[in-house]
Structures are given as structure tokens and as C-alpha cells.
Structure 1
Amino acid sequence: MVVLEKWISKVIFGGVITLSCGMAQAQSSMTLYGIVDAGLLYTNKTPNPTTFQNEGGQFSMNDSGSSPSQFGMKGVEDLGGGLKAEFDLESGIDMANGGYDDSNGNLFGREAWVALDGNFGDLKAGLQFSPFFFAVAESDPRDLSQFGSALILFIDNAVATGIFTSNAVSYTSPNIDGLKGSVMLALGGAAGDFQAGRQYSASLKYENGGLMVNAAIFDGNSGGTAQTPVPTTLALEGRTIGAAYRFGDLTAKASVVNYKVAGELNNYVYGAGLDYTWLPKWDLNGGVWFTSDRSDTTNHSLMAALGTEYYLSPETSLYAQIGLVDNHGAETTGLAIGALNAVQGMTLGADMGVRHTF
């Protein structure tokens, strides 16, 4: 779909610098790519990190206000007969101080994998995004913006579990009459305990014309050897079903996602929204998400956000976003990666910035 292709190019790829070499029997290339994104963020309330009481408004520089800042390199070699070897190494960048961000905290903490791709599908091994995460992304009307989107709720519930999945092997089928499936198994690596840190995920997607319907699961155990600076092995159960339909330049999306972390939460997130390409260089989108804890329904939140992006060129854009979140009970849903938690009651926020891909 057009919106998903835009998200993939914006969040995962975006490379334009390509090096290639050829031999008599094989062709290979390597692409250097990245995103730099920085802006300003305002929220009218800020929680104390210990008591979660309101400490007042906050105005700050916002690293990755729209897309995760990153750089990477990917390569492909044509092995003949429709078979290709591929790899991707991708690192997150903190635009405020040059450190690691938008990753599991390691140098290539976003992606580090090698794959074989052919008529049979795609077989991949290494650090990678899970099928569950891709399914959540496909049905998000705000393209996983770092402000007011399904991404905020994913991280608020699961941190980086299911996003940056270590020790993983996955298979994605070819497209068969609009139907495509993916499965993934991540091995915990703990001697004598196969279940420690074990994670698996699967998804199924159907596309026909402007229609997209998907469903996915994730199941992971805590522990294992894949411990990273940012937690990626919570005891998480994830379930989602989503749909999208494109009417010309307008795309409508809706989804239900369940995040269940053992001993902590059992949240259901109901989301819907619209994405409209108003002009060839101007995109508008908005979404609403309601979260309810099935373990205690007094814990619930409502988040809503609107965003616009204007493309100065195919590589450079300006963006502005506004939103609100209303928390009740023990819910602490935030508005942005830079303001991941919020106090009880209503919090208002906005951000604006510039994004460049290379």
C-alpha cells in the first residue's frame, strides 16, 4: 500500500548512496542510508520520575520527533536463478548528543541480519523487527510517528520487546494472490533452559486493491542471553488485528492490539484514524487510541493526535504535530518518545521539526 511503502522508506530505508560491483556471474551492491530528525517538544505537564506527580510544563529539544534518527548500510548480491543474498546493519542516533537512541542501546541495535531471498520467499537470521511489530505498523494511521501514534503505546506497554528482536530466525512467504505470511523464532541462548528468553511471532496479511487486512501474534519469555541496555525480553504476549482501506488519496485504518505482560498489565488498545495526501508535497493524518486494562478497567487512557508534513524535496520535510492524552487510574500513557509517560488527567503537547533522509 502507498502509506506502508512511505513508512518503510521513511523509517527503515531511505538510502540513496549506492556502491556496486560486478563479476561475470554475480552482481552486488551496497547502499548507505539514514535519517536525521530533530525538533522542539512542548507538554503542559511533566511527571516526576519517582512520584509521577506533575512538575509543570516542559519545553525541550526533541530527538526524532517524527521518525527515528538512524544510519545504516545494506547490501544485496544476485546469485542467479532468482536467488539473492542480502544484509542490513542499522544503528539508531541521538540527535541531541550523538549517542545511541531509537534502538536496543547497541551500535547496530536496530537491525543486524543476513538473508536469502528467492522465489520461495525470504529467510533471515539476526537482529530484526518481529512480524507482530510490522503488523502494528501497517495498521497505524500515523505511520508510527514518534509523537502520538501506535508506536508510543507499543513502547509504553512493551518497551522494545518485539521491536528489536535478537537471536532471531524468520521466514516470509512470497505474495500468493494477495496473501503473505511471516513466522519468527528467537532463541534465548541459555544453556540448559530452552524457554528462557525464547520469543516467537507470526503474521498473516491479505491485500487486494485498496484493502488490507492483517493479524499477528507475539509470545516471549523473560531471561536468556540477549540482554541489552534497553529491555527487549519482557514476558510479553501480543495480539493484533487491523485493517486499512485506500480511497484515492485518503486512507482509513483501524486496529485492536492486546499487550499482556506477566504480573504487570493486560491492556487492550483500540485505534483508528485517517491519512490524507492533501497535495503532492503535503500529508495530513490523525488518530485516536483508547487503552483499557482488562485486569482493572479503572485503568484507562485516551490519546489523540494530528500531524502534518510538508516536503521541501523528496529528502527533506518539515512537520508539526499536536495531541492530548487523558489518563485514569494507574495508566501513564505519554504523548511522545521524548515524553513517554504522563500524569493523571489530561496532558496537552505539540512538536515541530525537520527531517532529512539520505
Structure 2
Amino acid sequence: MRAVGLPQGAYAQSSVTLYGIVDASLLYTNKTLDPATGQSAGHQYSFTDSGLSGSRFGMRGAEDLGGGMRAIFQLESGISVATGALSNSNDNLFGRLAYVGVESRFGTVKAGLQFSPFFLAVYDFDPRDMAYFGSGLVTYLNNVYVTGLFNPNGISYTSPEIAGLQASAMLALGGAAGDFQAGRQYSASLRYHLGALTVDAALYSGNAGGSAASIPVPSVVEFNGRAIGASYVFNDLTVKASYVQYKVAGSFNSRVYSGGASYRITPALNVDAGVWVTRDANETSNNSVLASTGLTYSLSKATVTYGQVGFVTNHGGMHNGLSVNNALNLPTGTTAGVNVGIRHTF
């Protein structure tokens, strides 16, 4: 409905974009985990949803408010290419992102379901860009599942970059009446960028309980996280290294050391590789090493084919896996895997 006397040309300019990723692959691992024994249940061949990137669809929009300000929103839902069901999120419709906010020269404020600054920092310095096979995303989910990744009830602020520095902070309210601490989550990060060098440090603190405990895939693992990482770009070569701590209440105190690189061989062909070493500070016999490499070839601007190989070695109580889907947890000893697939973005 138009306000009385307001000319049509006075409406602010706005836009809405529909986007998505469709990613499907085949996965082979020479071992699988038997949850009852912790040992191998045999090898597997499987169709795997999202080998390189999580399949999803969403929409984002912006409205020019004038004076350099914009209203923004984003809704994003994870889907399974294998079954068409909700997946790669917290199994809610628009379970990946659902926020509204305002952007200006003073920074960006968002309110709603969103990624934490801690997760975004870990993502930035992952040598394989958080691929769904053989990357830091697997070690992240092994430790705290989707906590800190999908944050309901979140309010965040990200500053503009000033003299190379950019800060971000988030508070997620637990939503439990009479108990502010239940389900409360907070996170912050500080990023420094100078030419080819980027350094990022972040923290996270989350409590159990609250309203997020009732969603299909709860995001309320009680843990404290600390992370620091760096990347450097040498023309077509990007090198990254990081240290991440996941201190989970009543469980592991995992310290993950990672490093790797990505090299663009041609405009269409890229190779990357990384190593993630996990050690439990509470029990030294619990440790794991994950190593992987991947090759992507762009058939067009929107379509990529890929191949990935990797192995993981688990000792003690560690059961780290190779793939977010179908091989997130694996038995003690060494497991090798191969993943090939195709991804289309729109």
C-alpha cells in the first residue's frame, strides 16, 4: 500500500537475489565406524551429498536507506541432493541463515540466525576452504558439531576495516525464562590485513540449554574456543596455518594444528592440500592426524568437477572422520578415502 501523497519515485531502491549450490559426489572409504565396538565395520561405496560445498538455496536482499545505509536480509536453507530433505544445517527450514540487519560506513549489525565470528575466522584460514571432505570443517564438527556454526537468537556487529584492522562480536541469547546463562553464546574476532598478509584471532564461549536445545540438530555443545591463524598470498599460491582449541565441558580439550596451501595452476584448474593434527590436552593418548588434497576443474563459471583423496589416523578415544556426510566419525587406526563429484552454483 502506498502512503497518501508519496510519489512512486521516492521509494528506496531495493533488490532480492535467489542463489544456491547443488553438489553431489561418490565416496569410498576403506573403513567405517561400528559405534558399538569403535572398530571398523568394513569399507563403503556411497553416493554422498555435498563433497566439496554444502548444498543449499537461499535469498538475500538489500534496500538503500540513503546516507550510505542499507537494510539487508538473508535466508538460507541446507538441502540434501541425495534425498531432497533438509540437511547441511540444523534441519530447520532456513536453518543455515535467517537474519535482518543494517549496513553503513560505521559497520554492519545483524539480528537472527547467523555464523559466529569464531567459525568465520576458522573458515578464513582453513587451507582447503572448509571443503566437506578432508578439511578443518570435519575436525570442527567432530569436536563441537554445529555449535558456533549456526547460532540462533544472535545479535552481531562487524566494524569497517580501519588501518587494516576489523573487529566482530556476537551475542546469542539462550531464550530460557529466568536463566540468562542457559544457551547463552558469545564470540568475537579481530582481523588484521596488510597487503598479501592476513592474521585473524577469535574466541567463542557457549553454554548448554536454552531454546536452541530443542531444534532438530541442537547447537548447544558447552565449549570454549580459541583460534589464531594467518594466510599469505604469493600470486597464484596461498599459504595458510592455524591453531584452534576446542575445550568441551566433560570431554576433550582438543588442540588442532593445521597448515596447507592452494595453488591455481591455470584459471580453470586449482589444487590444494592440508594437514590437521589434533591432540587432547586432557589425555595425550587421544590424538588424530588428517591429511588431504583436492583438485578442482572449472567447466564454466558456475560448474566445477573435483576429486579429493585423504587419510585420517586415530589413536585412543579419537574417532575423527574424512567427510562431513557419510564418514564424519571413523574407527581407530588409519582410514583412507576418495571423493569425486560435481558442483553447480546459481
Partner of 2:245: 258
Partner of 1:356: 344
Among 21, 30, 52, the residue aligned to 1:44 = 30
Partner of 1:318: 305
Partner of 1:200: 186
Taking the aligned partners of 1:279 and 1:115, their CA distance within structure 2 comes to: 38
Taking the aligned partners of 1:222 and 1:344, their CA distance within structure 2 comes to: 29
1:142-291 equivalences under 5 Å are 142-227=128-213, 228-291=215-278
Taking the aligned partners of 1:23 and 1:202, their CA distance within structure 2 comes to: 41
TM superposition shift of 1:51: 2.0
- Aligned residue pairs total 337
Amino acid at match of 2:282: S
TM superposition shift of 1:231: 2.3
C-alpha distance after superposition, 1:266-308 (max 9, x if no partner)? 0000000000011001110000010000000100000000001
Taking the aligned partners of 2:284 and 2:298, their CA distance within structure 1 comes to: 42
C-alpha distance after superposition, 1:56-90 (max 9, x if no partner)? 11000010000000000110000010000000000
TM superposition shift of 1:25: 4.2
Among 11, 23, 28, the residue aligned to 2:14 = 28
C-alpha distance after superposition, 1:238-271 (max 9, x if no partner)? 1000000000000000000000110011000000
Amino acid at match of 1:199: Q
Partner of 1:8: none
Q: TM-score normalized by structure 1?
A: 0.93
Among 299, 302, 306, the residue aligned to 2:286 = 299
C-alpha distance after superposition, 1:315-344 (max 9, x if no partner)? 000000000000000000100012001111
Taking the aligned partners of 2:280 and 2:35, their CA distance within structure 1 comes to: 22
Partner of 2:3: none
Taking the aligned partners of 1:214 and 1:55, their CA distance within structure 2 comes to: 40
Among 106, 109, 120, the residue aligned to 2:92 = 106
TM superposition shift of 1:197: 0.3
1:336 maps to 2:320: no
Taking the aligned partners of 1:115 and 1:278, their CA distance within structure 2 comes to: 39
Q: TM-score normalized by structure 2?
A: 0.96
TM superposition shift of 1:43: 0.2
Which has the larger Rg?
A: 2
Give the secondary-structure state (helix, strand or coil) at the position aligned to 1:283.
strand
Gaps spanning 5+ residues in structure 2: where? Answer: 1-7
Contact 2:212–2:218 (CA under 8 A) maintained in structure 1: no
Taking the aligned partners of 1:50 and 1:88, their CA distance within structure 2 comes to: 41
Partner of 1:345: 333
Amino acid at match of 1:127: L
TM superposition shift of 1:23: 4.2
| RMSD, aligned α-carbons | 0.8
TM superposition shift of 1:55: 1.1
TM superposition shift of 1:236: 1.2
Gaps spanning 5+ residues in structure 1: where? Answer: 1-21
Taking the aligned partners of 2:72 and 2:60, their CA distance within structure 1 comes to: 7
TM superposition shift of 1:174: 0.5
Amino acid at match of 1:297: T
